[in-house]
Amino acid sequence: MARPLHVYLHVPFCARKCPYCHFYNLGHDDAREAVWLDGLAREIAAVREAGGFEGCRLATLYWGGGTPSLLSPEGFERAADLVLGIAPRSDRLEWTLELNPSDATPTRLAVWRERGVDRLSVGAQSFDARRLEFLGRTHGAETAARAVRDAAAAGFDNISLDLIFNLEIPDVAPAERRRAWTRDLASAFDLPISHLSLYGLTIEPGTAFEARSRAGDRLTVPDAAYAAEFRAACRAARSAGFEHYEVSSFALPGRRSRHNTACWTGAPYVGLGPAAHSFDGVRRWANVSSLTGWAEALATGGDPRAFVELLSPSQREIETLYLELRRAEGVERGHPLLGGAAEPIVRGLVGEGVLVERDGRVACSERGFLLLDEILERVTAAAGAVGVAMHPAAWPGTEGRDSFDNVLGRR
């Protein structure tokens, strides 16, 4: 039986660097696109030679970045040829493409649809001119709504939208901020979307926002307002019939991201492109965050990876706990890190209503999702497992790469 293959493709180009973004990207031009495409061809050939695609069927493709919708039509076609040539497709291939709203032209939408993209992830972030300006986005307030409607008209019936909260905009009073967030949520659920990815702004090292923050600007809201905005989003999603299936993800029934769910449940995935991460079930690695460094390594028979890490059994246990507690289904009650010294902690958290026990599993309540970092810290500290895990908010290969950390990044 063929093994399901999950592929993340990093397209490292952006029209402009957003002031909050810490992901690897650079400006787009034809020469850079050609370097990226040649590197991609070489990387696929190298993985194939190493047996990385043997016995596989493509189950999910996720094109993120960066801004995959910036690729030229020819670049998109060549990349599609390369990636679709990796392995036979499964009958239910899910192919997601991240999209900047300004790029949703009828021609591009038709090309993507024709080629087999069946899921779009639209980087709306907001429908409010002031919030978009604060975030340094290149699209206007109407553009994202138009992009979603045009995509639906072009035949896309599986559209995800990104929205950002936790924005403290100078000179915007709290009451107006609340109204703007409520309007953003209403606008989002008024559109023909099937999925919402919610992000709470975090100030990341090396970003323009970090410089502003250091200079004294407060760019994120107080904790109580953060919780109120998060819960307002949960309520709005519920009213629209969306299930809250992961800490920062909401979907209509049957419309969960299959790619992300595979990554969150420990399935191996292959990352292609500069800065892309991969996981084979035992080891994880990341390519260098440099287009030229990655391409040159591949062209000269070198290793394009920045690091390879072999996970010990205890690291795997911690990661399973971290990843599964993000999901509505939670983690098995019998998970090794929930027993022993952590047992009374878990019982206490259930008593406090931040964790819920059902069907032999332990999951976060809505309030628990807001406290997820703290829950994980308390449980792993009690189990003596602190300091071993990588923070999963930074996990690669999953939706949300287009912005920054999700609600889990909140401290």
Contacting positions for ligand SF4 (CB under 6 A): 14, 17-18, 21, 23, 25, 65-67, 123, 402-403
In this complex, which beta carbon is closest to ligand SF4, that of residue 213 or of residue 314?
213
Q: How far is the CB of 23 from ligand SF4 (least distance, A)?
A: 5
| Other beta carbons less than 10 A from residue 357's beta carbon | 14
Q: How far is the CB of 50 from ligand SF4 (least distance, A)?
A: 29
Coil vs helix vs strand at 18: coil
In this complex, which beta carbon is closest to ligand SF4, that of residue 70 or of residue 342?
70
- Cα angle, residue 320 at apex, residues 317 and 322 outer, rounded to 5°: 110
Q: How far is the CB of 65 from ligand SF4 (least distance, A)?
A: 6
- Please name the residues in contact with 292: beta carbons below 8 A apart, sequence gap of 6 or more: 35
In this complex, which beta carbon is closest to ligand SF4, that of residue 48 or of residue 130?
130
Listed residue (223, 244, 166, 246) closest to 199, CA to CA:
166
Both tokens of 331, joined, read: 């983690």
Q: What is the residue whose two structure tokens read 């599609």?
A: 80
Listed residue (340, 322, 339) closest to 331, CA to CA:
322
Q: How far apart are the first and last CA of the chain?
A: 44
In this complex, which beta carbon is closest to ligand SF4, that of residue 65 or of residue 392?
65
| Other beta carbons less than 10 A from residue 54's beta carbon | 10
Coil vs helix vs strand at 364: strand
By the 8 A CB rule, do 104 and 150 touch?
yes
Sheet holding 283-287, edge to edge: 277-279, 283-287, 305-310
Q: How far is the CB of 232 from ligand SF4 (least distance, A)?
A: 23
Q: How far is the CB of 249 from ligand SF4 (least distance, A)?
A: 18
In this complex, which beta carbon is closest to ligand SF4, that of residue 320 or of residue 398?
398
Q: How far is the CB of 163 from ligand SF4 (least distance, A)?
A: 13
In this complex, which beta carbon is closest to ligand SF4, that of residue 131 or of residue 244?
131
